[in-house]
Amino acid sequence: MSQLKEPMSQIDEQEVFPYSQHQSTTLSPITSASSSGSTALSSQHALHPRTILENFVNSFKPFNYDDLPPVYLDHFRKLDERQNQGDVEYTSSLQDDNANLQQDKQGAHLHPAHPDFDYSTFSQLEKDAIITSMNPLSKSLRTRHLTWISLGASIGSGLFITTGSSLAHAGPLGLLLVWMFIGSFTFTTMASLSELATAFPVSGAFVTFPTLFINKSVGFAIAWNYALQWLVTMPLQLVAAALSIRFWNDHLHPAIFVTIFYVVIVLVNLFGVKGYGEIESFLSLLKVVAVIGFNICGIVIVAGGVPGQPYIGGANWHRPQGGLFNEHSPFKNMCFIISNASFAFAGIELFALGAVESATPKTSINKSRKQIFYRIIVFYLVSIVMIGFLVPYKNPDLKGSTDSTDGLVDTNTSPFVIAIKLANINVLPSIMNAVVIITVISVGNASVYASTRVLNAIGALEQGPKFLNFVDRKGRPMGCLLIQFGCGLLAYLVCIPGSSTTLSIFEWLLSLSGLSALFTYLVINISQLRFHAALSHRARVARDELLYVSPNWVSWYGIITIVVTLVLQFWAALWPPGGGVDVVSFFQIYLGGIVLAASYVVHKVYEYWYNGVPLTKLWLSVNEINVDMGRRQVDLEAVKQEIAEQRNILQSKPWWFKVYNFFC
């Protein structure tokens, strides 16, 4: 083993990815006097209103790809071909790569993101891997940004509002068991996603991986289904925030607040990804404090610590006041709320979506992955247990969320708000309602980030219109932002007389991408297994060359449990609790699956008609999967040495430390 010239920790922090970073521009040195004078003049000029306006307008111009350095890529393709043939041992240190780059000039053209880059010598899969890994999106996100973005998107109306509907259907213990089950495979799936996102920080992340490791048709269907989910989420959250104002004043027209919240979200996202990251971090912090505060307050209420209120204890878990499960068809009612639980957990995966815009993707992703366990435990399961103690599932205030679409947005059916009302604590109900408003605005803000990054990846992969790949000079996917802002105007459907009509429209719009999170998690696990299969075919061991490795059993657990979940949801949707076959209920929950299947079939026919891909070809073969294109380039010899050292240290530790290291 060769000696390292610098500590691996330094290499990790630099996140060596020399072929995708933008070339920095430096000025030649001048005298200090002239430098000071020119700096003062330039500062005054920069603060001039006309200059500010010009800079603002110029920022929307197309990204200047000529500023990006040229890249030599042919040696990667040739190296992978030799590895497939077994002619050479896999070695890819930075020194060897740089030497090959200087010798191999045939691939020297422009930066791969440049529209004029010549991809004629590369296969379509190689092109997809290269162009998504070298996206010109602004790389301004830090570790804390990714952590808070993922946290903020997953603590939203799914937790604060739709848990009311779920509690009414399944009862407190039924609700807890469903959330635990969904949370278990969510956690394992995020482990698989972390491995892929650490090795391949490509734009689109989990919607790009199916294209690289399964086939393009699966990638096409998943990407559009996932994008549609978030495109509809923004206007829905705007409506939810506007209608929540009715808690204080039901005379003001909700369109007023839709406009206010819409403008706020648009401005935040026009500041660029760094501005978005800062705002979302702040909003997410408020939500975390609110959830922790609610749980502490809930303990006091349950213990009878509120003056004038009786001791509650476990009374709401027993009949006749409540019960552990719904008295009527308890198991079917539990299956019926699977879609609600999936909706609540959706957004946790966004930490991987930001990998391509992170300055340190390995560090950011690894930290975000480990914190997912605590989010599931503290922010979901503890909160679910607490509302089960505080609110009986038979509470009539929950019936609005059971019998109508109000459960999507109406804070009056939120078990968090109901619990505070029942305790008769002054001011706190208003505070909790304000928290819910902040929550839904935050989710609406995150939906802009999620949809635009997925749409940009769709454009890069040539699975949609070319303008989706448009990036302005600030590194913003402006074409995608305009689409999302246009979809946000759907929030003005709230002007239609009768809120139930508006909510019914949104429920059907959401059904187009219903269960999107489950299908996305399914293909993440399959992608990880296909990647490992391709590595094994080349006689390469994942543990010896990846900075983070998720065990194969984790992906198999995710696949099996998600398939079982989809089957149970199908049964409960077609034969809902308390009645016979209900076609409307089925399509409201499972229409997304039909749309997904139709998208897959249409793209398969397109691939057959225009590219000659056989309709019977369901998988990329292990030979076709390129395990190196799009990879984050690091010194693998240094990585192997660090992995071996960490493994030896971990083996000497007690079992409890190994468990702690896995989760923390």
Report the C-alpha gap between 421 and 216 in whole angstroms: 51
Q: Do the beta carbons of residue 138 and residue 474 sit within 8 Å?
A: yes
Q: For 378-404, what is each residue's pLDDT tens digit?
A: 778 889 999 999 988 888 787 654 444
**Nearest to residue 387, comparing CAs of 160, 558, 204, 169?**
160
Give the chain's count of helices (H) and strands (E).
Answer: 28, 0
pLDDT of residue 223: 92
The pTM score is: 0.81
Average pLDDT for 318-341: 84
pLDDT of residue 102 exceeding 70: no
Report the C-alpha gap between 202 and 183 in whole angstroms: 26
pLDDT of residue 105: 41
pLDDT of residue 657: 77
Q: How far is CA 369 from CA 44, 189, 213, 580, in A?
A: 45, 10, 22, 42
Which residues are CB-neighbours of 409 under 8 A, at least 6 positions away?
A: 157, 161, 236, 239, 240, 243, 244, 440, 503
Q: Which of 21-30, 99-108, 429-438 has the lowest mean pLDDT?
A: 21-30
What is the SS3 assignment for 353-376? HCHHHECCHHHHHHHHHHHHHHHH
Residue-wise burial string across 260-280, b where 16 or more C-beta atoms lie within 10 A, e elsewhere: ebbebbeebbbebbbebbbbb
pLDDT of residue 643: 64
Q: Which of 396-410, 531-545, 549-563 has the lowest mean pLDDT?
A: 396-410
Q: For 552-606, what is each residue's pLDDT tens digit?
A: 899 999 999 999 999 999 998 888 887 778 888 888 888 888 889 999 999 999 9
pLDDT of residue 393: 87
Q: Do the beta carbons of residue 171 and residue 317 sit within 8 Å?
A: no
CA 43 to chain centre: 39
Q: Do the beta carbons of residue 424 and residue 449 sit within 8 Å?
A: no
Report the C-alpha gap between 340 and 357 in whole angstroms: 30
Q: Which of 22-31, 160-169, 268-277 has the lowest mean pLDDT?
A: 22-31
Report the C-alpha gap between 129 and 139 in whole angstroms: 18
Q: DSSP string spanning 587-643? A: HHHHHHHHHHHHHHHHHHHHHHHHH---TT--S--TTT--SSTTPPP--HHHHHHHH
Ordered by start, the domain boundaries in the chain are 74-122, 143-574+582-611
- Reduced to 3 states, what is the DSSP secondary structure of residue 472? strand
| Residues 143-574+582-611, CATH architecture | Up-down Bundle (1.20)
Q: Count of CB atoms within 10 A of residue 66's CB?
A: 9
Q: For 620-656, what is each residue's pLDDT tens digit?
A: 888 888 887 766 655 556 666 766 777 778 788 887 8
pLDDT of residue 376: 74
Percent of the chain exceeding pLDDT 90 equals 17
**Nearest to residue 346, comparing CAs of 488, 160, 150?**
150
Q: Do the beta carbons of residue 574 and residue 586 sit within 8 Å?
A: yes
Average pLDDT for 117-124: 72
